Structure formats: structure tokens, C-alpha cells
Chains A and B, each alone.
Chain A
Amino acid sequence: MDTTQLLKGVLDVAVLAVVEREDGYGYDVVRRLRAAGLEEVGEASVYGTLRRLYASGALASYVVPSDEGPHRKYYGINAQGRAMLEAQRKDWHEFATAMTALLETEGVDR
């Protein structure tokens, strides 16, 4: 199965979940997503998602200057983001439960 297609649908909630635990900058979020098992997540996709969530008001953003190189843009979740995450978490559980039930039924049938 092409997991990149699956990822596209759940990248928002995944990014929100990561940022909810701790504020993070672009590649930091990528690394934590990959560490969580989403190995195939695209960096540019994560960056774009972060920008979109920020633009929609779900994330706050702040810039931290770096002594050695370019500045890092950090993202943190806000109240709206938490509400969005909660709603999507609920959706995901329902979806996953349904899918799991469906797939296990098929498995049992098989």
C-alpha cells in the first residue's frame, strides 16, 4: 500500500499531535514524525502543512535566531489547534475503529 497517500490524509493531525507535545521547528517536526514511525513523510510536505496550519490559526509561530546559521521558525499549538486536534483525533479513532473492524472481519472471513 502506498503509505504516502495515506499520510496525506492524516498529516495535519499527525503534525498537530507532534507540536502539541512540544513546540518544534520544521525539520524537528519531521524527525519526530519519522521517529514515531512515519518514515516516509516528506519534509516539504511537513513544512507546507505547518505553514497551512499556522495560516489557518491552529498554530502559533515564533522565530528563534541562531548564532551559527539561519534562524529557526518554531511552531506551537494554540487553543484553536487543540480543538482541531481533538476533533480530528475523535474522527481518526472512529475511522480507525471502523477500518480495523472492517479489516479484521475480512481477516476472520478469509
Chain B
Amino acid sequence: MTTAVLLDHVSAYAAAVRSHLADLSPEQVDDLTDGLEADLAEALEDPTGAVATGEIPIGRVGAVQGSGALIDLTRRFGPAADYAAELRAAAALVPAPTAASGARQLGRSLVGLGERTAARARAVASRPGVAALAGFTLALRPVWWLVRGWVWFVFVIWLLRGFLGFTMSQGLLPTTAGAWLLLALTTTVSVQWGRGRLVRPTVLHWAATGGNVLAVVLALPLAVAAWGLVSDRIDVSPRVSYVEVPVYEQAPPQDGVWVDGMQVSNLFVYDADGGPLTGVQVFDDRGREVRTIGDDPWATWALPGVAEPWRFLPAQDDAGRDRWNVHPLLGAPAGEWEEGGSEPTLLTGATASTPPVPFAKAPSVTGDQAGDGVEGSGGAATTVLSGGEVGAP
């Protein structure tokens, strides 16, 4: 007889047995007859099996009826009803109450579902690979206890945030002695609970379960947030950061003469009586030439009250050198210059002239001061006025 045919018979017999247990709850029937097919099949194939309570080992049935004969399992196991009754009696199971309220029915089926799920879980857990994995996971439980303690800590901080005024970063990682103390407390409670060292009355059971669920739900998002903080703090990888630092930079020295923040193109010198002077050489306290025209001698300058910009020429000393400190500089409007060459030259017929003076005559100065100021330099007091503004070079 093939195994398949045998199993068909066994399945049919087991189904018959179950039908006689129909008054029990499905969970009870499952519990009572789980694995029944395997036991029946093995009993049938065991030729040495003793005949007991009217059972006939299939080996003997075959010997009596000849191989391949259709077997009547009731001859081996007795009527399915009797078998079911014996099973039920030995298991001391009472019939399920028939008049159960809907809610109770629902509750029972939920409980049954839980039991079946647990049974399946036990079945899965019994597989070698899964068992090994389960053992590994079990060894990691202390890690979970610590994580759970931390999640509780964060939750408590969050609950107290209005009172304590914590920022988010302070709420995730302890930054004060009090916070460390709280973290130590929640961690201790979590670990002790995990080790089963806490007395857990029934009233606390639900709180504990809630705490566990809370920790499971919050652990991952909080861990991500905390990792962001931690990695920000301990990040050692090179990272470009831009920090604004006020730097008081000294403006590079500018050539030329500046008056009240404005560069001037020319200086106008008046004597003590207020009369304009020409061809005055101006030096500073170190004997350097005071030049209004800087690096670009051919820049054009906007003069106050003059529409056309001007360009200036240096004076020449006896040796033929350019002297830019001889004021007022002479020049001509930009329109009178030849632009073609390497440097502009005055058009033929145009002559350099003194640009418009700010005023024809300056106020005269009183004698004492005027005399002090020009002692030994020709005997005439001078007044220096600037003129012109820098234009677009």
C-alpha cells in the first residue's frame, strides 16, 4: 500500500474523529487532534504494534486480507466516535458552551486566534535555523532593555517639556546632571523589569505593556533623531562649513589726495591775501610730492560745475621730468585730446589751461597765523583749496 493511499485513509479517519468533536471549540479540536494523522499513520505502519482496545495493527490486517486490500481503519482504531470519546475523556475536555453571547464568541475566537498564532509561532520556532535566530535575538534582549529605558527617558522629558523648557536636543540626550539621573532611573527600571526583578501586580500589567508598546513604536524615530544629533557632535569627517567672522580690513592705501572721503583732481593755492597762485610745488611732511593724479595719469576727471570731463598734464622740471605736484595742474577738456596714440596728446591748436578755479579770490588770513605758517618758504601765506572730483577713469 502506498503512503499516499494510506494517508488518504488516515485523513478520512481523522476527519471523522474531528466530526465527533464538533461540540468543542475549533481551537480545542485543533489542540486535541494536531498531529493525529502522523500518529495514526505510524500506528498503521507499525507491524509490531500491540493490539489494544480492539485495535488491529495494519501489518496484521494486511496479512489477513492480502496486500492492497482496502483497509477499514475502524478495525484497527475502532469507531471514530469511540476514538473521539476516548481522546476527549483523556484530555478531560468538556463540551464548549453552546449558548454563548456574541461578544463572548468573539472573545473566544480572538483568544483562539491568539492561541493558533502562538501555536504556529511555536511550530516555526522549532525549526533549527529559526531556533538559532531566536537564541541570537534572545541574547540581544539586554540591548532592548537599554533602548527601552532611553525611550522612556525621552518620553518623560517630552511630557515635562513645558515645565522644564527643554530644547529638542536636550530632550533626546541628557545634558544636565538631572537628565542623566532620570536616564539612569528609566534604564534601571527597564532592565530590572526585563530581568523579571520587578513585582508586577495585575494593575501594573497594562501599564507595563503600554510602556513596552510605546518604546517599540518610538524607538526607531527617536534613534534616528538622536543619531542626527550625535553625528553632528562627533562628526570627524572633513566638512566644509562657512562661518561668518567680522574682519576689519584695512583699506589698501590709495594714491592721490582725498578730502572728506572724496578724491580730488587738483589743488588750488591762494596766498595770505586770498589771491590765487599758480605753479606751486606741494610736498608732504616727509618731503614727498603731493600728487592728485595717481597711477593712471590720463584718467578723465569730472569737475564741479563743468559738463565735460578734464584730463590733466604734469609740469616739467628743469631736467625734463614730469612733476605732478605742481598745482594747480593744467589740463584741457577731454574733447581737446587726441586719443589715437599710446597716450593721449593735446590736439593741435589746443593748449593746456588752468581748470576753472573754485573762486577767484579766497578770504585773506590775518597776519600772525599767516606769517607762522609760511616762515622761510617765500614769505607768502597760502591757502590750498582742492578742486574736481574723480571721474570715471
Contacts and interface: CB of A to CB of B under 8 A. Distances in A.
B92 interface: yes
Interface in B71-124: 77, 83-84, 86-93, 119, 122-123
Contact of B52 (A42, A64, A74): A42
Given A27-B46, A40-B53, A52 B91 contact: yes
The main secondary structure of chain B at its interface with chain A is helix
A9 interface: no
Given A40-B53, A62-B125, A63-B122, A52 B38 contact: no
B35 A72 contact: yes
B90 A44 contact: yes
Given A43-B55, A61-B122, A63-B122, A71 B90 contact: no
Nearest to A73: B35
Interface string B31-63: 110111111111100100110110100000000
Contacts of A61: 122
A39 interface: yes
Contacts of B125: 62
Given A31-B46, A62-B123, A63-B122, A52 B35 contact: no
Contacts of A47: 32, 36, 39, 87, 90-91
Contacts of B41: 69-70
Contacts, number: 114
B25 to A, nearest CB: 13
B343 to A, nearest CB: 103
B85 to A, nearest CB: 8
Contacts of A52: 90-93
A69 B37 contact: yes
Contacts of A71: 35, 38, 123
B59 to A, nearest CB: 14
A49 interface: yes
Interface string A4-24: 100000010000000000000
Residue of B35, B37, B41, B50 with most chain A CB atoms under a 10 A cut-off = B35
Interface string A56-86: 0000011111101111111000000000000
B77 to A, nearest CB: 7
A27 B86 contact: no
A63 B38 CA distance: 11
Interface residues of A, number: 36
Contacts of B31: 51, 55
A48 B89 contact: yes
Contacts of A73: 34-35, 38
B3 interface: yes
A72 B234 CA distance: 55
A72 B43 contact: no
Contact of B77 (A28, A43, A74): A43
A36 B53 CA distance: 17
B126 interface: yes
A93 B77 CA distance: 33
Contacts of B43: 27, 30, 43
B48 to A, nearest CB: 8
B70 interface: no
Given A31-B46, A63-B123, 6 more contacts: A26-B36, A26-B38, A26-B39, A42-B53, A43-B52, A52-B93
Interface of A: 4, 11, 25-28, 30-31, 34, 39-49, 51-52, 55, 61-66, 68-74
19 contacts: A11-B90, A25-B39, A26-B36, A27-B39, A34-B49, A39-B52, A43-B43, A44-B90, A45-B89, A45-B90, A48-B87, A48-B88, A48-B90, A62-B125, A69-B3, A70-B38, A73-B34, A73-B38, A74-B126
Which 9 pairs from chain A and chain B are nearest by CB? A48-B90, A73-B35, A62-B126, A48-B91, A26-B39, A70-B37, A63-B123, A44-B86, A27-B39
